[in-house]
Structure 1
Amino acid sequence: MTQKALHNPIFQDVLDRFKKDLSKKEKDYFTNVTSFDELEKSIGDLQERQTVKRQARNLERLSPFLEAMKQWGQVVEVFCNSSEFVAFVWSFEKFQDVFNGLLDVYKEIGQNLPLLQQYQELFSNEPFMVRILSIIYEDILKFHRIAIKYYNQGLFKQFFKSTWKGQQTNFKHIIASIVRNRGLIESKARLIHEQAFGDSRQVEVDHHNENLRAFDDARRTADDHHAAQLDAFEEARQIAESEQERQIQLEEQKQCRRVFEWLRAPNTDIEHGHLLKIRNEYPNTGAWLLESKTLKEWIHPDYAKIPPLLWLKGIPGSGKTVLASLVVEEIRKLKRKPTVLFFYCRHDNPEFSTFPAIARGLLAQLLEQERHLLPYFDQECCTSKEPILQTPEKIQKLLDIALTHCKSAYIVLDGLDECKREDRKEISMWFRERVENPPHNEPRKLRCLFTSRDDGHGRKDLEDIETVTVGSSDIAKDLETFCQRQADLLRIKFQLTSDKADDIASAVSQRAAGQ
């Protein structure tokens, strides 16, 4: 920011708040769009490409917005470096419905923005007018914040119908605020014009001094009235935004209840919580696994090996499920915060050992972490004829869409050997297919870890992927710690000597480790 921009920090404050929600990539995009001429050129190039493809979208709808923002930039450069502050047009040309919808919003905003050059001289000495300028700027950035967030969701074809209506409501509030502030500018300009006319009359007619004083008093009263109006508008806007946010939250709660009742997903959090409690009692359990080079490479966000599949295998009772929970928590520590999905299969419950059960469990977790998927899933729920989601094709479709939507997702599926053979095969094949055949531009998007016994079915389904084997030497320390703890409890309960308790712990841990 240049020294000139420091003349009035109000615009910088607005921009700084906007930038907080931007990713580095989005900030770079802003930096590159530095002039109105570059923006016009990019729009012209876009229109030319659309015309060649016979897909023209009437980009003339952008003209009112562009002209209004051009004049806004010319006026505001008195107070700051306008090249950094003028809003931009986000390109949605690949998605016809979204692009057309946004063009209509741009058109409506442009038609309601004041053309400020006609008032340019009024802003230099009127703090009231500068304040209105900053509020209009904040509204424009708010619109772009919504548009950017909407664009970054991806999968417009699936989500457009279920989400666009809600976005239109947000846009209407923004446009209403712009209309109110335009009215204040126009009212203030009329008052100043009337005073200027009164001043010229005073030059001609000296005996109108008393009338002029009355006029000045009226102007000061009007100034106070305008300031009070702006304060009232701002207060009303804040109240309206709070109410809008409350209504959004209420609607989201209704959607959540409908969708989660429709999914009827098995609760994996209970099992995960139980496993966390076990590991808290034995905090160093599985430390050897975290030092595994193979696991480190699988977890590392920049690991380039494709496909990123991993099989954690071991004999029954070797603690694979506890280790799976350890891996889940380790992934959650990543700074980039990927979507983390997990499921613990159980042979004694069909709700925990089939592909539909796993899929419904993962869908519930996805919705908890990716809330913007909720409107789409609510639409699917409301149009479904099933009170509970059961159709395999529908389940697969929803999980496919949800996983494709994630920027990055880690999936931990524990206990495949707990499932029947046909279910086990379906589960491993489906998830392998999604991980092994990603889109060309998203090669590291999905990663999947399977755990199971090293049996014939496991080798048939998983043996050609990277493996980590839970060996007796790996778990010896964990078993020794566990047995020592249990031996201490026995010593206290039966009043044994310490030596006797240590002998018990040593014998049990060696036998358990196969030594």
Structure 2
Amino acid sequence: MASSGPSHFEKILANFKKRLSSEHTELFQLTTLDDLKASIKRIQTEQAAKKGLRNLNKIKPFLNGLRQYAEVLEVFVQAKPEILAFIWGPIKLCLQIASKLNEAFDALLDAYEKIGNSLPILSTVDALFCSHPHVKQVLANIFEDILDFHKRAIVFFKHGTWRLTFKLTYHTFSDMFRDILTKLDRSQDLILQSANVAHFQESQDARILFTKQMEVLLEAERNQRKKAVIDWLSSDSSSTTQHQELGQIRNMLPQTTRWIFSQPQMLSWLKRTEYTPCTFWLCGIPGAGKTVIFSSVVDEIGATLPNAQAVYFYCKNKDPLRSHFTDIIKSLISQILQLNPNCLDFIYESMLSYSERRATDASKLLQILEQILSSHDSLYIGIDGLDECSEQERKLLSNLITAVSRANDAQGNVQLIVTSRQEKDLERSLKSAVKFNIREKNLESDITAYITCKMTELCQIFHFTQERKQLITKEICTRPKDIFLLARLIMHNLLSQDSLEDLNEELKFEVLPHGIEEAYGRMLVRIGKAGSSSPNQMEKRRQRAKLVLTLVTTSHRALYKHEIQGALAINLEEQNVDFENRHSRFPLDDLCGPIIQVRQNGIVDLIHPTAKDYLWQYHSGHYIVSSGAEEFMATLCTSYLTFDFLSPGLAGDLFAARVMNGDFAFQEYAACNWFKHLKSLFSNT
């Protein structure tokens, strides 16, 4: 059997210290039993003054058992005073913290009472028996179990959510130490029964096995709880994907957006300067680059503020998963849970108390968010594109701003950054925020850097001379002014040209766009030209591109590229899907040009929200007529759902073949959204 002398106790203590802060280590190492008793007396006096005395008699068996245990250690193990100090010190700390909340104090007293009942009464045991090596091992096990309980308790009380957990339930705390009680009971039986060496060894092996089994069980229970919470929240992950893509874009031009961090308003907000409001409002006209700047701020927080954490959300107009207040709150809660797993118990208990299969109640979700904000020392919340949400949803966001302000007033630990256009309702909601309006002078260097970078790519394709490169760069830089998007649209269009002749046409002074509408117009001119060798092919390609743009702009949620390809393969006249012969052989962003983009997760999206406005308005000659588009989508969805192969009873092998052929690619969207298109159609007529 391994040695169980002082070195073994010191090893257990060293392992315990690894989980402690230096402050707690220093606090515990000089604590005595008399210090603990004095602290208990002070707590009683304070509770009596508040007329809130608790039943401290519950702790007497625990303290008596530990006193006997400490005496045995001093005599038979020659334990150093430091070892005993780390028995009394954690008890003192836990009682002091828990005394701030009656429910927590009662739960801790209950725990100590149960542990006290499981401690062996060493005063009745033969002194000679206590000196046996295998008994010393049991004494070391008891020491390990007591420290293990306090290790868990200290971690529990360390995080701000412990108060919230006790308000909901006791059992989360009691669940933490049920395995410790089992191990203490076994140690008690061994000592009281004066077991032989073989029995001790068998019990020690069983203890090791039990500890491993409990670790696996507790981890499985925690994972099950986490899975239940994640399923309940069902938050969308598109914001994470978009943030990663924006980071990759900025990495190509790392010097861009850096100007924002030299602005006094931003510096004061990041550093939480005294008297600086906790909310920062970054506003600007459409296409000013607010979203890219926002992503830069989020990353800057993680890179330069070592103790800070950031959660964020990118709103998207008419996306059912990214344009509602509940979507924002659910995503923020999910991200906070990932950053701080100690929030799990509170969120889980809240979920059970609300009895909802899915989280849909905005007010309850906001309550959860406001409560868990207290569990962070420094948290930054970011919401991009508030103007992408409806005015009704934006009204609810004022409640979030209020919640953040309350949390910040209480602890000074939460900051909020939002971006949007200047809207009157947002002006009212954000009247107390630090407001920064993006100006032309802020974007000049970023626009020039972007155009210069893209001109290098253009020169590699068309082999310009350095002189012509400089002339073109200079001319293009005069166009965007304070609209970064315009620079992006111009360069995307130029890079998509097939020949030098086409490029020269686009570079003519009277053709090169002066505004966003003109830039979108040039993109529409290009559609159908690329890769087409005859007028007939050009027209067919143009019609297919128009169909894709109709799908993208009219859909009630973001579409994936396989869904769009599935829609292209539908033949309404013949009532079938011919994926092999009808899907586009060209990538969708080649078919439609730079007006659309295919994201990393397969979602097909417009290059910017303003593109939809252009396609639906008179500037484009009503390229897409909204009423006609809704009628087409309603017809497409309802007709597709009546196709024979979607009827019940399709044989298994035929079903598998249909799946592999792509016949079901559009099914999920059509089944979930046909009624929405009909409703939109009727509301417009």
Per the normalisation by structure 1, the TM-score is: 0.80
CA distance in 2, matches of 1:63, 1:109: 11
Verify the 8 A CA contact 2:107 2:173 in the aligned structure 1.
Answer: no
Q: 2:8 corresponds to which residue?
A: 10
Q: Does residue 76 of structure 1 match 2:73?
A: yes
Question: Which runs of structure 2 are paired with 1:29-178 in the superposition (5 Å)?
Answer: 29-30=27-28, 34-77=31-74, 78-82=78-82, 84-87=85-88, 88-89=90-91, 90-91=94-95, 92-116=98-122, 126-155=132-161, 158-160=164-166, 164-178=170-184
How far apart, in 1, do the equivalents of 2:157 and 2:65 lie? 24
- Bigger CA drift: 135-144 or 364-373? 364-373
Q: Quick one: structure 1 residues 47 and 459, their matched pair in 2 at CA, closer, same or farther if it must change by over 3 Å?
A: closer
Whole-angstrom CA distance in 2 between matches of 1:95 and 1:169: 19
Offset at 1:142? Answer: 0.9
Corresponding residue number in structure 2 for 1:210: none
Distance 1:104 1:458, change over 3 A: closer
Match of 2:362 among 379, 385, 392: 392
Equivalent AA in structure 1 for residue 61 of structure 2: P
Q: Quote the residue 1:467 is aligned against.
A: 435
Q: What is the CA distance between 1:336 and its match in structure 2?
A: 5.2
After superposition, the CA RMSD in angstroms is: 3.2
Matches within 5 A, 1:17-416: 17-27=15-25, 29-30=27-28, 34-77=31-74, 78-82=78-82, 84-87=85-88, 88-89=90-91, 90-91=94-95, 92-116=98-122, 126-155=132-161, 158-160=164-166, 164-186=170-192, 190=194, 222-223=196-197, 225=198, 229-230=200-201, 232-267=202-237, 268-300=239-271, 303-333=273-303, 337-384=307-354, 386-416=356-386
Contact 1:367 1:374 in 2 (8 A): yes
Of 437, 442, 450, which residue of structure 1 is paired with 2:418? 450
Aligned partner of residue 16 in structure 2, secondary structure: helix
Alpha-carbon distance in 2 for matches of 1:459, 1:54 = 48
Deviation at 1:460, TM superposition (A): 4.0
Contact 2:269 2:277 in 1 (8 A): no
Q: Secondary structure at the match of 1:499?
A: helix
Of structures 1 and 2, the one scoring higher in RCO (CA 8 A, sep 6+) is 1
The CA deviation string for residues 233-267 of structure 1, in whole angstroms up to 9 with x for no partner, is: 44433332332232333333333333333323232
Superposed CA offset, 1:398-444 (max 9, x none):
222232444432111112222333433431x22332233347651x1
- Closer/same/farther in 2, CA of residues 336 and 236 from structure 1, 3 Å limit: farther
Indicate if the aligned counterparts of 2:455 and 2:469 stay in contact, CA closer than 8 A: yes
- C-alpha distance 321-439 of structure 1, shift in aligned 2 (>3 A): closer
Alpha-carbon distance between aligned partners in 2 of 1:104 and 1:69, rounded to the nearest angstrom: 16
Give the C-alpha shift of residue 383 in structure 1: 4.9
2:457 to 471, 489, 494: 489
Give the partner amino acid of 1:168. Answer: S
CA gap of 1:499–1:24, structure 2 versus 1, over 3 A, is: farther
CA distance in 1, matches of 2:6, 2:409: 48
**Aligned CA distance change for structure 1 residues 234 and 272 (closer, same or farther; 3 Å):** farther
Specify the code of the residue in structure 1 equivalent to 2:473.
A
Query: Which ranges of structure 2 fall in alignment gaps of 5 or more residues?
Result: 484-685
Aligned residue identity for 1:10: H
* Aligned partner of residue 511 in structure 1, secondary structure: coil
SS in 1 for 2:275: coil
Alpha-carbon separation, structure 1, partners of 2:140 and 2:380: 43
Taking the aligned partners of 2:10 and 2:250, their CA distance within structure 1 comes to 49
Does the CA-based 8 Å contact 1:95-1:156 persist in structure 2?
no
The answer for unaligned runs of 5 or more in structure 1 is 1-6, 192-221
Distance across 2 between alignment mates of 1:344 and 1:369: 19
Kindly tell me: are residues 26 and 512 of structure 1, through their superposed partners in 2, closer, same or farther at Cα, counting changes over 3 Å? farther
Contact 1:73 1:85 in 2 (8 A): no
The offset of 1:386, in angstroms, is: 4.0
Structure 1 position 140, deviation (Å): 0.4
Q: Which moved more, 1:333-342 or 1:446-455?
A: 333-342
Q: Which amino acid aligns with 2:263?
A: S
How far did residue 40 of structure 1 move? 0.7
* Count, aligned residues: 469
- For residue 405 of structure 2, the aligned residue among 436, 440, 443 is 436
Percent identity reads 28
Conservation of the 8 A alpha-carbon contact between 1:480 and 1:509? yes
| Alignment-mate amino acid for residue 296 of structure 2 | L
CA distance in 1, matches of 2:289, 2:182: 61
User: CA–CA distance in 2 between the matches of 1:456 and 1:166?
Assistant: 46
| 1:451 counterpart letter in structure 2 | T
SS for the counterpart of 1:141 is: helix
